[in-house]
């Protein structure tokens, strides 16, 4: 709600007073300042339920404007011989009040624009990402840039990787008999009382060979004088026990359960 003046010579908001003063359509001697103040007091009563800081801001602007108008009107109605310097001072004061009215109008207009923008923003709702249409980029609209040789190499490499398909897996079948691994471990224990598992599998070993070393170690610990030990947080070692014999008899190892395996039609080669 903005303050409006109701006078015989002028009727409208306070902001339009600037226009009338500049055009000199209303003389100060024809304006009743007491009537303006009375109307403004009624205006303040209506604003009692609004924010106090806003009311005080309007009051201070009105008091500043009204005091200047009173001074200008007193100089206009009282007969007085003014010198040239005093006349220039009055003109300066009139220019000052016009400038203040201009500034006041700019502030009120900006506040009205911000208020309207705030009301429009409150009526907006954020669109969910699932509702957004799929964005399609036209290659023809993209800018053309200079390419280096490494850009071309990178593009060809990406195409080769995408068109190559899954890597070919090479299946390695180890048909080494278990007793061969056992004899290797047994001979090493003859030379040294213990050997670590890391020393056994050292080198480029594949999974099938690793399984062979594992089964051979288990068989030696069961019947052929070897044991497996490990210090806390240390390596696993195969050690020689009191049951160790210099000669290793492994005839029964690879033929264990041969008849049973053959009768099951499993694809293995008998020795």
CATH code where residue 247 lies: 1.10.10
For residue 204, tell me if it sits in a domain: yes
For residue 152, tell me if it sits in a domain: no
> CA-CA distance, 265 to 268, in Å (whole number)?
8
pTM score above 0.85:
no
37 versus 120: the higher-pLDDT residue is: 120
pLDDT at 266: 28
> CA-CA distance, 217 to 55, in Å (whole number)?
96
Share of the chain above pLDDT 90, in %: 0
Instruction: Report the chain's mean pLDDT, rounded to a whole number.
Output: 68
Together in a domain, 197 and 99: no
For residue 222, tell me if it sits in a domain: yes
* Domain encompassing residue 219: 178-263
Above 70 in pLDDT, residue 190? Answer: yes
136 versus 84: the higher-pLDDT residue is: 136
Together in a domain, 93 and 189: no
Number of domains present in the structure of the chain: 2
């Amino acid at each position: 709600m903005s303050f409006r003046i109701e006078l015989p010579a002028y009727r409208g908001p306070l902001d339009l007073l600037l226009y009338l003063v500049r055009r000199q359509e209303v003389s100060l001697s024809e304006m009743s300042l007491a009537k303006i103040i009375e109307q403004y007091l009624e205006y303040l009563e209506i604003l009692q339920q609004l924010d106090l800081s806003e009311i005080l801001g309007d009051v201070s602007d009105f008091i500043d404007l009204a005091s200047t108008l009173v001074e200008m009107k007193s100089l206009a109605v009282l007969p007085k011989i003014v010198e040239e310097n005093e006349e220039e001072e009055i003109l300066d004061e009139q220019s000052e009040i016009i400038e203040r009215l201009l500034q006041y109008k700019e502030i009120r207009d900006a506040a009205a624009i911000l208020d309207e923008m705030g009301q429009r923003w409150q009526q907006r709702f954020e669109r969910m990402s699932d509702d957004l249409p799929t964005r399609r980029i036209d290659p023809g609209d993209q800018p053309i840039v200079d390419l280096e040789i490494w850009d071309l190499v990178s593009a060809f490499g990406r195409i080769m990787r995408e068109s190559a398909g899954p890597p070919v897996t090479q299946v390695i079948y180890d048909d080494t008999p278990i007793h061969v691994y056992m004899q290797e471990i047994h001979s090493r224990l003859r030379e040294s009382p213990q050997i670590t598992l890391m020393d056994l599998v050292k080198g480029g070993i594949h999974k099938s060979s690793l399984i062979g070393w594992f089964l051979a170690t288990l068989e030696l610990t069961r019947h052929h004088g070897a044991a497996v030990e490990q210090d806390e947080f240390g390596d696993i070692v195969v050690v020689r026990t009191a049951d160790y014999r210099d000669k290793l008899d492994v005839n029964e190892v690879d033929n264990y359960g041969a008849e049973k395996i053959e009768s099951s039609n499993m694809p293995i080669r008998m020795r």
